[in-house]
Amino acid sequence: MDTQLKRGLLEVCVLTILSKEDSYGYKIVRDLSEHVEITESTLYPILKRLEKQNCVSAYTVEHKSRLRKYFKIEQVGQEKIQEFLNDWESVLAIYKFVKGGGKDE
């Protein structure tokens, strides 16, 4: 799969996990692994990008005498999920075109 396409899909997947509840890296990987293969080394650059885009914010919570970094989805992140959903019909049409070899079905 094209790296850019996969990156965009992973971003939406991470945002979807965070739309359900605030979470931290390891838990996000665990929750996503049921649906898509992702490692922590892939996740953290995605979270950093999403934070720069104001899609998520981060805060820390003490857990077992250590600080754990949590991520929270912001309005911009919610909007990014909605954009993806709105664009999905177009993506499906392109998929059907490519799969059909350019022939009308």
pLDDT digits (tens, 9 = 90+) for 43-94: 999 999 999 999 999 999 998 899 999 999 999 999 999 999 998 888 888 8
Exposure string (b/e) for 65-79, b if CB count within 10 Å is 16 or more? Answer: eeeeebbebbeebee
Q: pTM for this structure?
A: 0.84
- Number of domains comprising the chain: 1
Interacting residues of 100 by C-beta distance below 8 A, sequence separation 6+: none
Going by pLDDT thresholds of 50, 70 and 90, the confidence category of residue 2 is: low
Q: Is 34 inside any structural domain?
A: yes
Residue 28 is assigned to a structural domain of this protein: yes
pLDDT of amino acid 1: 65
In a domain, 104, yes or no: no
Domain of residue 40 covers 3-99
Q: 102 falls in which pLDDT band (50, 70, 90)?
A: low
What pLDDT digit, counting tens, does each position of 5-47 carry? Answer: 777 889 999 999 999 999 999 999 999 998 888 999 999 999 9
Type and span of the H or E element at 83 = helix 75-99
What pLDDT is stored for residue 101 in this prediction? 75
Rounded CA-CA distance 76/73 in Å is: 8
Question: Does residue 104 register a pLDDT over 70?
Answer: no
Domain-located, residue 78: yes
60 lies in a domain? yes
Q: Distance between CA atoms of 105 and 96, rounded to whole angstroms?
A: 8
